[in-house]
Amino acid sequence: MANSWATLGVDLHLEPIGPGGLRRGLTDALRDAVRSGRLAPATRLPSSRSLAADLGIARNTVAEAYADLVAEGWLTARQGSGTRVAPGVPGGTERPAEPGTPTGSGTPTGSGTPAGTGTPAGPAQPARARPPRRTPVLRPAYDLVPGSPDLAAFPRTEWLKAARRALTTAPFHALGYGDPRGRPELRTALAGYLARARGVRADPGTIVITAGFSHALGILGGVLRARGVRTAAVESYGLDVHWALLRKAGLATPALPFDGFGTDPGEPGEAGAVLLTPAHQFPMGTALHPDRRAAVVAWARRTGGLVLEDDYDGEFRYDRQPVGALQGLAPDRVVYLGTASKSLAPGLRLGWMVLPPELAEEAVAAKGRVDTVGVLDQLTLADFLASGAYDRHVRSSRLRYRRRRDALAAAVAERAPEVRVTGIAAGLHAVLRLPPGTEESVVQAAAWQGLALHGLAFHRHPRAVADPLDALVVGYGTPPDSAWTGALDALCRALP
Ligand SMILES: Cc1ncc(COP(=O)(O)O)c(C=O)c1O
């Protein structure tokens, strides 16, 4: 039997034949159509009644085939929006799933699928074979990778108001090439905010606006290398993309020891600089011990070394006052690096560095002769800070993330008592300590549950000076509110 039908302008030739009967034949044919890209992600399928009529088969057969494919994650079925191809399944017209968006009830990540038994969305299969049940997810339904706040909570209305005010009041010459350090309005607003909220000693003249932390780190790597520095020590746990930026500038990046008190940067060997996350070690979550703060400052003063302070999520501290910036102790030896990536959104690409005066000129020269960061966003952020909207947004975000953190800790304590939730005094992620030797299998189980997340091994320096630990790094700030409960439930199902 061969029939054709059309959905949303897509003509599809479908042959529901095969050795296993009509239901099996139709299931295989639909799966093939999705896999080959003839049915694109999110395409709405005809109702079971009309497809049955088209194909001349019983409506129940179509309904059963749809149900099979929903259970396998190829399709989603939702009241009011019908049956659709699941977002993010692979095919010729692949369209990525919205991170953090559940793919619909009945998908492998929905609550109806028992742990490890559902076939995750979109496994690549040889034609007409049923997907083997052990293929890992290609397009996760829930994003628990740390690094992003809840983007659905971006303060659009307030940001738009700030943008309107900023553009209305900006002098016309603000739209020119301007100062390579960045707009003076933003540097002035940041100097005030950072002094008040983070204890940074900042002069607008030594602040340089960048396209996020990574841009600043690349600039600093070049400045350090040009000064003859050969080595910048980094933490035993962190982000390889950041270490790679330093290596790209020609610097060696050995690891500093990490122990029960966190990173120990006291004696970083031959290094001319150290890269640290003092307020909230990424990803382990410890604050740099007061003795070690003093020791690293003493080292920098004694040797002329520099501390690069990555204050990526310093605003988000829950149980007490935020830990103040290390830079406040030694503004002449510490470069303070901040970003809007956690407090607002990474897509803004806005960051800032507060430089020791002796470094300011070289850093500005390394950034370039014209400002490479868009003026309108800078003016908007300046207004956002000056109007108090930034403080209001941070305060309300803190409350929301704190609730999630508490829900995470409570759910894990109840459903996975062998797992210890650590590093949660601050930030938008937690470290879930696992029984020894289980990290890999739990990461795999999480993939089965449709979760994108990282094991601690992902963040471990290849030459880490630290005892091996088994853990998950869970970015609980990342999913939108609507997906958070589902993500937490899926996470608990993956835990031992
Ligand atoms: C440890 C750490 N530092 C800095 C950043 C911010 O980087 P950027 O400002 O380039 O987005 C992040 C974001 O994920 C981070 O995790």
Model confidence pLDDT, tens digit, residues 436-455: 999 999 999 999 899 999 99
User: CB within 8 A of 461, min separation 6: which ones?
Assistant: 234, 235, 236, 237, 238, 243, 255
Ligand 1 binding pocket mutation candidate from 217, 235, 236, 282 (most atoms within 8 A of CB)? 282
Ligand 1 binding pocket mutation candidate from 143, 215, 239 (most atoms within 8 A of CB)? 239
In whole numbers, what is the pLDDT of the chain averaged over residues? 86
Pocket residues for ligand 1 (CB within 6 Å)? 147, 212-214, 239, 277, 282, 310, 312, 339, 341, 346, 351
Residue nearest to atom 3 of ligand 1 (CA): 312
| pLDDT tens digit sequence for 96-151 | 343 333 333 322 223 323 223 233 333 333 334 444 444 444 568 899 999 999 99
- pLDDT-wise least confident of 53-62, 204-213, 327-336, 370-379: 53-62
Could you say which DSSP state residue 354 is in? E
Cα–Cα dist 453/431, whole Å: 11
- For residue 85, what are the β-bridge partners? 75
User: CB within 8 A of 399, min separation 6: which ones?
Assistant: none
Could you say which DSSP state residue 337 is in? E
pLDDT > 50? residue 7: no
Domain ranges of the chain: 3-125, 154-391, 393-494
pLDDT > 80? residue 251: yes
3-state secondary structure of 207: strand
Q: Among residues 245, 232, 394, 223, which one has the least CA distance to residue 322?
A: 394
Ligand 1 binding pocket mutation candidate from 143, 150, 210, 213 (most atoms within 8 A of CB)? 213
Closest ligand 1 atom to 339 CA? 9
Angle between helices 389-415 and 375-386 (to 10 degrees): 80
Do 74 and 30 touch, CB atoms closer than 8 A? yes
The token duo for 122 is 């979109």
Q: Among residues 425, 432, 345, which one has the least CA distance to residue 155?
A: 345
Residue nearest to atom 6 of ligand 1 (CA): 213
pLDDT > 50? residue 405: yes
| pLDDT tens digit sequence for 15-54 | 776 667 788 888 888 888 888 777 888 888 888 887 887 7
CA of 268 relative to ligand 1 center, distance in Å: 23
Residue nearest to atom 1 of ligand 1 (CA): 282
DSSP 428-473: S-EEEE--TT-HHHHHHHHHHTTEE-EEGGGGB-TT-BS----EEE
Could you say which DSSP state residue 75 is in? E
CA of 239 relative to ligand 1 center, distance in Å: 9
Q: Looking at the domain that runs over 3-125, which CATH code has it been given?
A: 1.10.10.10
Class of domain 393-494: alpha beta
Mean pLDDT of 381-389: 98
| pLDDT tens digit sequence for 234-244 | 999 999 999 99
CA of 149 relative to ligand 1 center, distance in Å: 11
pLDDT > 80? residue 88: no
User: CB within 8 A of 344, min separation 6: which ones?
Assistant: 149, 154, 155, 159, 350, 393
CA of 162 relative to ligand 1 center, distance in Å: 24
- Is the domain spanning 154-391 CATH 3.40.1410.10? The answer is no
**C-alpha separations of 216 from 206, 209, 232, 244, 336 in Å:** 13, 8, 15, 13, 10
Cα–Cα dist 202/190, whole Å: 8
At 274, which helix (H) or strand (E)? strand 273-276
DSSP 302-319: HHT-EEEEE-TTTT-B-S
